[in-house]
Amino acid sequence: MELKASEIQKQRIAEIEAQADKLVGGCEVMFVASVNENGYPRVCCVNKLKDCGFKDLYFVTSKRSEKQGKAKHFESNTKSSVCFRRDGDSLTLVGNIEIITDKKVMLSLWQDSDRKFFKNGTDDPKIRFIHFHTTEATFWIGNKFRTVQYK
């Protein structure tokens, strides 16, 4: 039985998505872009706290400044982009940021190594746990290129 073109495309997308999940799972650091107060992109390296594949990513940052920085940018504009690269493969994600306020979720994401930045742990008034939701992914994996939109 021969597959329809749409079924072949779905299969190829599923394959590259599985490879993207492995890429993300193998990376501790991610590059995150926010939109600054002047409308320019600002890219920073952050440690990934957790991932649920490439579609849902978690990290922590600090709101040290009332005027600038990722946390302040995300309060004003939830649009973001995240990139990963490993062994010649790369993944560029576009999506939206959610600042996590649920204490139970914050506690589940907390890492004791962050205590050097946040002395009061999850009760620190400057700590911001961030959830990135992917709405678009551009894959360059195994010398194959593809961009996919998500809802």
List Cβ neighbours of 18 (8 Å cut-off, separation of 6 or more).
Answer: none
Whole-number Å distance between alpha carbons of 116 and 23: 29
Domains identified in the chain and CATH numbers: 5-149 (2.30.110.10)
User: Which three-class secondary structure string do you get for 101-133?
Assistant: CCHHHHHHHCCHHHHHCCCCHHHCCCEEEEEEE
pLDDT, position 95: 98
pLDDT, position 63: 86
Question: Is the whole-model pTM more than 0.95?
Answer: no
